[in-house]
Structure formats: structure tokens, C-alpha cells
């Protein structure tokens, strides 16, 4: 059902594709979007509530992510007598443990997935506060999320491009001054670059060969589709053939 491949980020991301149903179950209903208020950001910075990343990757690297002093750490969930974290319902925790039991390293994967789910939930909470006047809470969440980005990148759960886009959005809250924010983002980029997984030459060669083979099959399928009279072009057939080709090259995931 769910597999992991620590040899490449593509394997890790395939895990998430296979587990979308579980993730959706655990995180449903927490997504809002709108633009943050620029004046509120300026007010938050002027209030003297400076921010930096906490005790994670950013702090370990010596990079201070924010204009001033640290914020209080967000309250960590407690572990209940049955071993379940307090921020997971009994049903969700049972489903998650069942899924992780099918992986090569159940305990390690359970710990990693819990961290990722909390990261996702924190991001969605941050988004939900875009219309809120509680700028301090929003900045706390943003600082916490920036702190976690290197580990999420290291685990292959986000790409470098995704991590940089997230960092840019989060720092819009943390530093309203554009010039200072640019400097901070350059520091973040350096930290992320050191955290990014580096595939070995053999893995890169395999992935390049897979991509070339898929492109060859894709081109043949599209050519056959386009050679048919327009009235006989079946979009469902095309999508099915492309999916079959993908599975043949990359496997069921």
C-alpha cells in the first residue's frame, strides 16, 4: 500500500502520492486562502516582537531568521498513556500506525510522518490567520515553519523550489522590509542548499534513463492519437495509454 524509497526524492514523493487518501483524512477542512494585510505586518514588526528560527536547522547553522529576539516555542503536544500524541484522534492514530506498519522501518517512518503532518497543519493554521488581527500568533507559526523547512527538504517531502517558495511566503510576515527580507531569504537558501538530498550518480543515471524511456513511449502514444481523424480521438484512451506507459516505466507508484 505505502512504500518508502530513501535512495531518491522521487521515491519519497511517490510515497506521498500513494498516501494521499490518508493525508486528506487527517488534514481535511483546514485550508483557507487570502492575502495577508501589509499594514498588520508593519505593525507586528514595529511592536518589537522580533523573530528568529528556534532550535532547529536554522539555529544550528548559526543563521538568525528574523529581526530580533526569539519567540516562545509553540506548545508541543503531549503523549497520552496509550502512546498516542494528543493532537491525533484515536481513529487517525490507529490508521496512521496501520499504514506505517507496512513500511520497512515503521517507527522511524511514523515519527517522520507525524512531523510532516504537523508541519502541514501548522502551514494551514498560518494560512487561516491571513485575515486575523493576531499577527503575533501568525508570526510565531511562520517562524516555526521556516525552522522546519530544512528537515522537510532533507526528507524529500518538498523540493528545493517548493521550499524556497514557502520560505518566501513565510518571510513576507516575518520581515516587512523588502531589503532585509531579501538578505534573510539568501541565508535561508544557503541553509536549504546544505540540507537538500544529493542523489548519487547511479541514481541520477537511472532516473534519466527512465525519463528518456517514458518520453519515447509518450511521443509514440501522442503521435498515434494525433494521426487519427478528429472524430476518433478518444481522450480517455489517450490518458489510459499514458498511464499504462508511466506504470510500465516507473512502476505502480
Domain boundaries, the chain: 9-195, 201-250
Res 253: pLDDT: 54
Helix-, strand-, coil-residue percentages of the chain, each rounded to 5: 65, 0, 35
CA quadruple 9, 14, 17, 18: dihedral positive or negative? negative
At 22-62, the pLDDT tens digits run 444 444 333 333 333 434 434 443 333 333 343 344 433 33
CA 197 to chain centre: 14
**Closest to 155 (Cα-Cα) out of 119, 124, 123, 202:** 119
Res 192: pLDDT: 95
Res 139: pLDDT: 93
Res 6: pLDDT: 43
Which residues does the chain have with pLDDT short of 50? 1-9, 11, 14-73
What's the CA gap between 178 and 183, in Å, rounded? Answer: 9
**Helices assigned H by DSSP within 102-134:** 106-128
Amino acid at each position: 500500500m505505502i512504500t518508502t524509497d530513501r535512495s531518491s526524492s522521487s521515491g519519497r514523493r511517490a510515497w506521498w502520492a500513494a498516501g494521499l487518501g490518508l493525508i486528506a483524512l487527517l488534514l481535511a477542512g483546514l485550508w483557507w486562502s487570502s492575502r495577508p494585510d501589509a499594514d498588520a505586518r508593519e505593525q507586528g514588526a514595529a511592536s518589537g516582537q522580533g523573530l528568529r528560527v528556534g532550535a532547529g536547522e536554522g539555529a544550528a547553522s548559526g543563521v538568525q531568521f528574523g529581526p530580533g529576539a526569539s519567540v516562545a516555542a509553540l506548545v508541543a503536544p503531549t503523549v497520552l498513556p496509550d502512546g498516542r500524541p494528543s493532537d491525533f484522534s484515536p481513529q487517525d492514530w490507529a490508521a496512521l500506525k496501520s499504514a506505517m506498519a507496512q513500511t520497512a522501518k515503521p517507527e522511524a517512518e511514523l515519527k517522520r510522518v507525524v512531523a510532516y503532518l504537523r508541519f502541514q497543519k501548522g502551514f494551514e493554521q498560518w494560512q487561516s490567520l491571513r485575515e486575523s488581527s493576531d499577527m503575533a500568533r501568525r508570526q510565531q507559526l511562520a517562524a516555526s515553519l521556516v525552522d522546519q523547512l530544512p528537515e522537510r527538504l532533507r526528507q524529500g517531502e518538498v523540493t528545493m523550489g517548493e521550499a524556497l517558495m514557502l520560505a518566501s511566503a513565510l518571510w513576507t510576515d516575518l520581515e516587512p522590509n523588502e531589503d532585509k527580507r531579501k538578505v534573510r531569504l539568501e541565508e535561508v537558501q544557503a541553509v536549504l542548499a546544505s540540507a537538500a538530498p544529493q542523489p548519487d550518480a547511479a541514481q541520477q543515471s537511472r532516473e534519466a534513463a527512465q525519463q528518456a524511456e517514458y518520453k519515447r513511449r509518450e511521443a509514440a502514444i501522442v503521435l498515434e492519437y494525433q494521426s487519427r481523424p478528429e472524430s476518433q480521438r478518444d481522450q480517455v484512451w489517450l490518458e489510459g495509454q499514458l498511464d499504462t506507459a508511466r506504470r510500465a516505466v516507473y512502476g505502480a507508484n
